[in-house]
Chains A and B, each alone.
Chain A
Amino acid sequence: DADVTQTPRNRITKTGKRIMLECSQTKGHDRMYWYRQDPGLGLRLIYYSFDVKDINKGEISDGYSVSRQAQAKFSLSLESAIPNQTALYFCATSDFGTNEQFFGPGTRLTVL
C-alpha cells in the first residue's frame, strides 16, 4: 500500500550490527505496529504504538526497540542483530476506533 512505506526494502547485515528499519505513513492514523513474518509462524507483533507518547511491547519484543518520532513515523531497531532475526518485517497502521490494519510492503532482513 503506497500510503504506508518502509525503508529499506531489503537489507543484508552481519551479526552484532545495529540496524534501523523505518516506517512512514500518510494515512493520518494514530496507531502503528511492527510485525515479523516467518515461514510457518505467521505474523507476530513486536511493538505497537497508539500515539506518539504511547509505546507497548508485543509478543516478541526481546532484542528489538522502537521509536515513534512523529504521528507518521515509527522506526524499529535491532541493537545487535543476530541470525535468528532474519525475517520479513512489516509495519502497519490503523485508525482509532477501527480494527482494520493497513500494511506496508515489508523489509526483508538477512543477518549473516
Chain B
Amino acid sequence: QQQVKQSPQSLIVQKGGISIINCAYENTAFDYFPWYQQFPGKGPALLIAIRPDVSEKKEGRFTISFNKSAKQFSLHIMDSQPGDSATYFCAASKQTGANNLFFGTGTRLTVIP
C-alpha cells in the first residue's frame, strides 16, 4: 500500500503562475518530509525538506506547507518558470533509525512559456 499519496499526477501551469502539489501520509511516526525534483534522464535531487516542528518552510520560490493534524503537506512553486518543468516527488521518513524514504507517485509539472 502507498504510504504517501500524491496529487495531481500531472500539472500544467502558465509561466508566472503558482504550482501546487499535495501529499498525504498515514504513519504518524514520520517526522521528515522532503521534496525531490527530477529532470528527464537524471536522478531525483533534494529540493526542499521540512520537519514537523514548523508549519512552513520557504526557499526562494519554493515553499512547503505542513499540516500535522491533517497529515498533509504541499509544495508551492511561486512565479513558475519553464525551467521548473520536471517531475516532483514528495516523500516521508523517520529522522532516526531505519530512516528509509517512502515516496509519493510523482507529479509531472509542465510550465508553459
Bound-state CA distance A103–B99 (Å) is 16
**Number of A residues contacting the other chain (C-beta, 8 Å)?**
22
Bound-state CA distance A11–B18 (Å) is 39
- Give the shortest distance, in Å, between A48 (CB) and chain B (any CB): 6
Taking A42-B89, A99-B93, A99-B95 as contacts, is the C-beta distance between A4 and B103 under 8 angstroms? no
Q: Which residue of A lies closest to B2 (CB)?
A: A42
Taking A56-B98, A99-B32 as contacts, is the C-beta distance between A42 and B43 under 8 angstroms? no
- Give the shortest distance, in Å, between A37 (CB) and chain B (any CB): 8
> What class of interface size applies to chain B in its complex with A?
20 to 34
B42 touches A101 (CB 8 A): no
Main SS at interface, chain B: loop
Q: Which residue of B lies closest to A50 (CB)?
A: B98
Q: Give the contacts of B28-65 with A (CB-CB under 8 A).
A: 32, 34, 41-46, 49
A-B contact pairs, 23 of them (CB 8 A): A1-B43, A1-B45, A40-B9, A41-B105, A42-B103, A43-B101, A44-B103, A90-B43, A90-B44, A99-B32, A99-B34, A99-B49, A99-B99, A99-B101, A100-B34, A100-B49, A102-B45, A103-B43, A103-B45, A104-B43, A105-B41, A105-B43, A106-B42
